[in-house]
Amino acid sequence: MTIAFLARDGDDSRAPESNVPEGLVWRVWRPGGKLALQALAFDPLRWAVTMQHKLGLFEDERYTELGIWSAATLVHRLIVTPRWHRFPFMAAGDLQIGGLWTHPTWRRRGLARVAIERAHRLFAIPGQRFWYVTDSANAASLALARGAGYRLVGEGRRTKPVGIALLGRFEIEREFAPA
């Protein structure tokens, strides 16, 4: 599988406000504090992220899960990840937008775009880049990223040392010149 690496500058203070449709609410989760501890018993991913956070594997404290909820149902999730060993292509201060997921009955309503805009608004700082990494064959994901202002900067692969994806890294093998 070929991985597409897309990026955009983080110095965009003009990012639009991100409004969710009527009846939906934002919930933010970070691997620290009381709410983070309560979630550990119910979510293996959050447990793993909390352990990585406690071990200091992330460059900084900005790991964040932005969730859009309808009552007790998660309808969209986006993860903001600071630099760590899995993303060696990132510079200090950069963030990666990923882990996007939308509940099947809530797809095609623009929630992913709203979540990306919210992440830009919350985390944009001068001199940083936002990264978006996806399978190069995922046309919908590529269109979403391009529509949010990302440009293709490289292609590469995801490594799996001893067959274990969790130990792997995303590596750029071919860089593209800026447009």
pLDDT bin (cut points 50, 70, 90) of residue 144 is very high
Strands 3-9 and 129-135, by their bridges, are: antiparallel
**Least-confidence region, from 32-36, 50-54, 72-76, 82-86:** 32-36
User: For position 12, what pLDDT does the model report?
Assistant: 61
Supply 154's token pair. Answer: 């490289």
Beta carbons of 64 and 29 less than 8 angstroms apart? yes
3-class secondary structure, 145:
helix
Q: pLDDT tens-digit profile of 61-98? A: 888 889 999 999 999 999 898 988 889 999 999 999 99
Backbone dihedral angles phi then psi of residue 144, each to the nearest 5 degrees: -60, -50
The enclosing H or E element of 36 equals helix 33-40
Per-residue pLDDT at 35: 52
Domains of the chain: 8-151 (3.40.630.30)
- Reported pTM: 0.86
